[in-house]
Amino acid sequence: MSLPPDSPPPIPNLELKARLLLLVMVVLVAGAIGYLMYARGAFERTQEVVLIADDSEGISVGMNMTFSGFAIGRVGRIELSPEGNARIIVNVPHKDAHWLRESSVFTMESGLVGGTKIRAFTGVLTDPPLPDGAERKVLRGDAAAEIPRMIASVRELVNNLGALTGPEAPLNLSLANLQRTAEKLNGPQGAIGVLLGNDADAKRLSLALERSNALLARLDGLVLKADGIAARTDGIIAHADEQVFGAKGLMPETRATVVQLNGLLAETRNSLKKVDAVLVEAQAIGANTREATTDLGALRAEVEASLRKVEHLVNEVNRKWPFARDAQIKLP
């Protein structure tokens, strides 16, 4: 074709410049699309955490879940469960999933200014990691919802305060009593009067105190006497010491006795030696006696034989003697 009649003056390297412009535009648009996809988390591998809440108000798709103030996940989907609860599906990138553990707690807070915030808290980082698709109840904290409750509590508190500070209130009566007590404290009876309440008791207490004083005085006397006794006992003990351990005491004499006993023992030992010698001699006598006893046997036998002979002789004399008794021989 032919260019229109108003065809412009030629521009050097027009084609190159135009292609460059097209390239710049394509790069800009593609870069913007890529950056937005990256910003939306299109290139992240994620795992799901299902948060169960009774109300999904303030939650929107794409909002952050934070851990220690850092965003570690974003809401991917919100559903209504068959039980009527809101199921908030949060996508957590794998690289941040290790912050979530079995014991992690999830909260949903909505402040007075700004949107609702989902936060995760992990107390024990050594617990087993949260599995993919785990379901957790989310704790809801709502500053705006707290206000009516707080106002109700404050009203109750104010009522209680009113009741406390009323004219017939126990606190007022207590204060009046305290004032009376203070007056009594400053009075003649002082703290005793406050403690005991009536005057009679206070007087009795005073009396008891006086008696106690008297008792204490007597006790003092007793203690003095006991001191005297103790002093005397000390004298006795000193005397006994002298008797026992003095120069003419029991102990030196005992020592002399022991020395004498030693001498006695030595003498006894000598005597015993002599007795030993006597015994040796007695043994020798014994031996002799045994020999003599053996000779005595023979002697006895001889004596017996002599006696038999004498008996026989006597028997013979008797038989031959005229006035002898009848000799009878009895036969068995």
Residue 228 to residue 246: CA distance in whole angstroms = 25
Per CB under 8 A, the segment of 12-20, 124-132, 135-143, 169-177 that binds another protein is: 12-20
Binding mask 82-121 vs another protein (x if CB under 8 A, - otherwise)?
Answer: -------------------------------xx-------
In DSSP terms, 142 is beta-bridged to: 110
Nearest in space to 132 (alpha carbons), one of 92, 162, 76? 92
Per CB under 8 A, the segment of 30-38, 76-84, 245-253, 301-309 that binds another protein is: 30-38
Nearest in space to 86 (alpha carbons), one of 65, 60, 48, 120? 60
Residue 228 to residue 200: CA distance in whole angstroms = 42
Among 15, 83, 168, 326, binds another protein (CB under 8 A): 15
The answer to the question of residue 25 lying near another protein (CB under 8 A) is yes
268, two tokens: 């006894």
67, two tokens: 């851990």
Residue (9 or 235) nearer to another protein, CB: 9
Nearest in space to 40 (alpha carbons), one of 69, 64, 68, 70? 64
State the minimum distance, in angstroms, from the CB of residue 58 to another protein. Answer: 14
Nearest in space to 51 (alpha carbons), one of 109, 134, 110? 134
Among 48, 52, 58, 64, binds another protein (CB under 8 A): 64
Neighbours of 66 (CB within 10 A): 14
Residue (1 or 329) nearer to another protein, CB: 1
The answer to the question of residue 63 lying near another protein (CB under 8 A) is yes
Q: In the complex, which residues of this chain contact another protein (CB under 8 A)?
A: 1-6, 8, 11, 14-15, 17-19, 21-22, 24-25, 28-29, 31-32, 35-36, 38-41, 61-64, 70-71, 74, 113-114
